[in-house]
Amino acid sequence: MTSSERDGRLGEEFFTPGTSSFTEFLAAHRPALLPMRRPFPDGVRAAPDRFPHGTTVLALTYRDGVLIAGDRRATMGNLIAQRDLEKVHPADDHTAVAFAGTVGLALDMVKLYQVELKHFEKIEGIPMTLQAKANRLAGMIRQNLGQAMQGLAVVPLLAGYDAKAPEGARGRIFDFEVTGGPYEKYDFHAEGSGSPYARGALKKLFRAGMSRREAALAALHALYDAADDDSATGGPDLNRRIFPTVSVITEDGFERLPESETAQLSREMVDQRHRRPDGPNAMP
């Protein structure tokens, strides 16, 4: 702590022109506050059953923008650590991020990313482009590579509405690898332990120009299929009234579907599965 801080005054670094990146500012002046720092000595790895992990998240484009959703379960080894985890978070008005991986680290990274976008807009006076937001998140993931190699990986999924994109292609999805590489995905994508099953379901159910209701039902069916084959993914819990998180991003901004709507759609989807356990056929 500097003498200025002990006196209750901001340090000189807060008044010195510098980068528009809040993450770089912290790295230069308060690196201990960054979540992306190695927690263990070299050669030591995290025990796989000691930290809660989030599982399946997905996104798909639809007529008005993009939908992003996630199950609610977090696991710790073979135990259910949490049944109502929120894995989908707004990053700003027209962008959302969902995560799979180490929960505590992921939540810290999401909060830092939210501040990063606000800081840039305040410093530069304009919001980032969606591609720039993806690149900035990629840089944060790259800084976390040391922890990922120690067993504390975070794999985010970024979705946003790009008003500058051509009509019909304004909902965009970005996937990231553990080294920070950003990859744009078209139509749909899923991440997490149940993602192979969720992607298989979306490959069957996705079609261009779906309504919000159709897209939400497709997402719920995909999460149901993921939970059916992956023990770390939680399906809709009708008894506890815990349902997947479903949000949309359109020209009007980020909106989480009301709990009542998600509950009604989840019950409708489960009822369909009672009549047809393997789920609906591919759309014509």
Q: Residue with structure tokens 């922890």?
A: 147
Q: Are strands 57-62 and 154-161 parallel, antiparallel or unpaired?
A: unpaired
User: Which is the catalytic residue, given 2, 16, 23, 55?
Assistant: 55
Instruction: Mark whether 129 is an active-site residue.
Output: no
Instruction: Tally helices (H) and strands (E) across the chain.
Output: 8, 13
Rounded distance, CA 93 to CA 254, Å?
6
Chain centroid to Cα 94, Å, comes to: 14
Q: Are strands 95-102 and 188-191 parallel, antiparallel or unpaired?
A: unpaired
Contact 85, 73 (CB under 8 A): yes
Rounded distance, CA 278 to CA 93, Å?
37
Sign of the CA dihedral running 141, 144, 149, 154: negative
**Catalytic residue numbers, as ranges:** 55
